[in-house]
A and B are shown apart, each in its own frame.
Chain A
Amino acid sequence: MSHMHAFSRRAFVFGSAAVAGGIAFGAYSRAEAAAPSADGNPLAAGLGPNSVTFNPWVEISPEKITLIAQHADIGQGVGSVQPIMIAEEMDLDPGQFEIRFADPSPAYFNTGFADEFAPFVAADQSPAAEEARAATLEWLRKSGLQMTGGSSTIPDTYHKLRVAGAVARETLKAAAAKRSGVAMADLRTQSGHVILPNGTKIAYVALAAEASKIPPVLDAQPRDPSNWRMLGKPMMRLDVRAKVMGELKFGIDLKTDGMLYASVKLNPSKGQPLKSYDASKAQSMPGVKKILEINNGVAVIATNSWYAMKAVDAIACEWAPSVYPAEQADHWKVLESSFKPEFLGKEWRKIGDIDTGLKTGRLVQAEYRAPYVAHQPLEPLNGIGLVTDKGMEIWVGHQSPRFVQYVAATAIGLKPEQITFHNQWTGGSFGHRLEYENVRVLAEIANQMKGTPIKLVFSREEDFLQDIPRQIALARHRGSVDRSKIVAADLQLASTAPLKGLLERSGTPSKDPDGQLAAGLWNVYYDIPNFRATSYEAQGLSPSTTWRSVGASTSGFFTESFIDELIHAAGLDPMKARIAMCTVPHYRKVLETVAEMSDWKGPLGNGRGRGVAFVESFGTPVAEVVEVTATDRGIRIDKVWVAVDVGKVVDPVNFENQVQGGVVWGLGHAINCELTYAKGAVQQTNYNHHEAMRIYQCPVIEVRGLENDPKVRGVGEPPVPPAAPALANAIFAATGRRIREMPFNKFIDFV
């Protein structure tokens, strides 16, 4: 696929690594019908008098400056760093502008998916790869795919928001030049003002009306990073103070006049309908206003969330059975029998002669497992909905504004443009807020309660039961070692398809192989002469979806554990061998950095052990070393070192926090989390069953950011995948026990 002409519509879809075609197609067909396009500015329509907007991210009225945070804030800092990227160029200081989340519009399509969706591994910077990425970008533009995910917050907006700010700055200068008669070149900007040579300051807001009457200076260029005032330096996240002071309102904290509260009980066999129910007990419970039947369950409307939750709990429901296996053991059986041609996802990569390679030297085989896991951000799913004769208004924190419109509209027979969406600050997501359970259910309830604002809050138990989990996966890896070298690696996995499922529920189904099942499987950068990576897509299992780091969260564990097994079989040092085998110079540097940080010198002895793992996901290479001690109370994690190359660290403090959080996420879930099905429902319904990491288990986590990658990369997810294999490899080093299945606490105790 080395020439552009290979990218006919069809060829592109089949060649795409991550079903970009699927996303592009579904949304494209809708985008064509809708009036707005990626070239339009959605801010223009709502502009007040004497106000100006230069692009979809900047709005200035005579009273205030508003900067648009394009992505959803799911705790990763979007609501701070995106406005600051604009403010950096506009010479605005924190406190001089308001922040608003983007409305649904194709203008906010995510350019950051171009790399992930093009069918080339991230380290491939060849012209063919870049051509494919450019073609993917055009598809994204046409599709108007507005989505937060794939660690794209910074990659998507690093350039365009700084350009947006530069255009605003230069246009304001042009307006000031016109007013003052001073040449633009003699003007400068500082702290929200244009400054004339004589020292006169003109506030940006005072220039709004005049700026609206002149053409924007579209060729304005962002400044060189060496001139940055805020970016790239330790800075205060704009949301920290409000969050610490308890002043920030999350979606769940909103209240409107005349609002009633709703709670739901839905069929725990996901997606299946309600057969019958008995609400006689609930009807007379305190606070209860109404009991509603909805598509796949029941809802109670009450004067308070707790009354609603208690009453819905008292409703006896009879459910239609699950369409996937009711019992967990049968899920594993389906996976075990999915390594067959009819379930082939794709052979993603083939190097050398795998059959001959496997016959050379010593054969190593291993089977690995990763269970379903839950997202369970601490703010449960919620939302406020109001349906009137005109349409629906919905206040909900979500990562895909345009898909919210589609899902809510479809649920109650409206058109997407009749849904007015207000994005909210969210108490975490980890992929949960890419799904639509709360949106669909809220639309149904509000539609039955026309004219009354309804606040829906899922109980934690309901949130667990309806959480569409991370994919379940099983790997059967084979490899061979000969004369202290890895000769072959044949990586095969069977898994449910997370991205495909999400796309289908978003109304943009795809028949392409799920590219997320290649993540962590095919992008292996070791010099292994015979290599093959193949995915099989198990059918008929639980729906699954994107969970922080998606495919790489399972494949990264399989691949980097198995590579470790091969390295040990070859009699090599896990760190030195990885460094020696790494074929990408700046990825090798990431490994060398973590070796230096941890002062890696080989085995530690005395019940202590270190493991290393390296995974590139979403284009970001991350190496981690985990150090453990085998104590008489179990494994204790002593310390973690992390090296990450994102090309450019734009927000260093938050960068460190994100990396540490990713490590905590990866380790905690690998240690003790799984969702298992019984009678069609998950058995884990609160944090005592699905705990992840608490502070007592949290090690010291030392982080270093590198800036050698030629592109600016994201960091929300990439620190997750190496954590589990680095821990498993450390446990092997400390105890000689190779753990090949998550969660690890099924096999070994932890302190």
Chain B
Amino acid sequence: MIELTVNGIKRQVDVVPEMPLLWVLRDELGVTSAKYGCGVAQCGACTVHIDGKAVRSCQSHIGEVAGKSVVTLEGLHNKDQNPVLQAWIAHQVPQCGYCQTGQIMQAISLLASIPQPTDEQINQVMSGNLCRCGTYPRIRAAIHAAAANKMAEK
């Protein structure tokens, strides 16, 4: 049995330690906001937070995540007040929406480290997250809007 904390709740899973966190979340624990897109850290659709940092859950073996705290989009604190989620809704970013949970988790992590990112900084951090529908102009606008809203709150 491997124990970890997912969205604040202690969970135990009986799987091989090599299994990527992504598949533990999706198939073993029924937490589906982390998406399978590529399996090789090329698309970012599986992005979650481990101990507060954005990581690709398809590359994190569950054996190494044991004892750590995993937060997926479902488990974000106070979701309705989250400036990134609010901006994503206000700008109607999603088309198919499949990549967006990963985009959002990456964007939250970006704004935590760079509260007012430039376009260049957004490009650097967000380029690992693929969007096949091409919502990039809206992703950029939503990140700037979220940054502005966070500043206004302070």
B-binding residues in A (CB < 8 A): 74-77, 236-237, 239-241, 243-246, 248-250, 252-253, 255, 261, 286-287, 304-307, 309, 376-380, 426-428, 430, 457, 459-461, 653-654, 657-658, 660-665, 668, 686-688, 691-696, 698, 700-701
Contacts and interface: CB of A to CB of B under 8 A. Distances in A.
A380 to B, nearest CB: 7
B35 interface: yes
A460 B39 CA distance: 7
A688 B139 CA distance: 22
A695 B43 contact: no
Contacts of A427: 35, 96-99
A306 B27 contact: yes
Contact of A687 (B15, B19, B26, B43): B43
A379 B96 CA distance: 9
Contacts of B26: 253, 305
A240 B132 contact: no
A243 B94 contact: yes
A113 B123 CA distance: 40
Contact of A244 (B35, B40, B72, B100): B100
Given A76-B95, A243-B94, A379 B23 contact: no
A378 B85 contact: no
A428 B132 contact: yes
Contact of A378 (B32, B40, B99): B99
B62 to A, nearest CB: 10
Given A306-B23, A378-B43, A687-B38, A692 B95 contact: no
Smallest CB-CB A-B distances: 7 pairs: A75-B96, A427-B98, A664-B134, A243-B97, A246-B33, A661-B134, A306-B23
B132 A377 contact: yes
Contacts of A377: 96, 98, 132
B97 A75 contact: yes
A695 B139 contact: yes
Contact of B36 (A74, A307, A457, A661): A457
Given A240-B89, A686-B38, A661 B100 contact: no
Sorting the interface of chain B by its residue count into under 10, 10 to 19, 20 to 34 or 35 or more gives 35 or more
Contacts of A305: 23, 26-27, 36
A596 to B, nearest CB: 21
Nearest to B97: A243
Contacts of B139: 695
Given A77-B95, A428-B96, A306 B134 contact: no
Contacts of A75: 94-98, 133
Contacts of A236: 89, 92
Q: Which of B43, B94, B139 has the largest number of chain A CB atoms within 10 A?
A: B94
B7 to A, nearest CB: 11
Nearest to A692: B132
24 contacts: A74-B96, A75-B95, A75-B97, A239-B94, A243-B94, A243-B100, A244-B97, A246-B32, A248-B97, A249-B32, A250-B98, A252-B35, A305-B27, A306-B23, A309-B39, A377-B96, A428-B132, A430-B132, A657-B92, A657-B95, A657-B138, A695-B131, A695-B140, A701-B137
A668 B72 CA distance: 30
Interface of B: 15-16, 19-20, 22-23, 26-28, 30, 32-33, 35-40, 42-43, 45, 72-74, 79, 85, 88-89, 92-101, 104, 122-124, 126-127, 129-140
Contacts of B123: 695-696
A668 to B, nearest CB: 7
Nearest to B33: A246
A670 B28 CA distance: 40
A582 B4 CA distance: 65
Given A244-B100, A305-B23, A378-B43, A658 B95 contact: yes
Nearest to A255: B30
A693 B136 contact: yes
Contact of B93 (A244, A250, A252, A665): A244
Contacts of B36: 252, 305, 380, 457, 460
A76 B133 CA distance: 9
Contacts of A696: 123-124, 127
Contacts of B135: 657, 660-661
Nearest to A654: B92
B76 to A, nearest CB: 9
Nearest to A376: B132
A599 B40 CA distance: 44
Contact of A240 (B15, B23, B79, B92): B92
Given A243-B100, A244-B104, A663-B134, A304 B33 contact: no
Contact of B15 (A304, A430, A657, A668): A304
A244 B23 contact: no
Given A244-B93, A249-B32, A688-B42, A665 B134 contact: yes
Q: Which of B30, B89, B134 has the largest number of chain A CB atoms within 10 A?
A: B134
B101 to A, nearest CB: 5
A609 to B, nearest CB: 22
Contact of B74 (A246, A459, A657, A688): A246
Contacts of B130: 378, 687, 691-692, 694
A698 B133 CA distance: 12
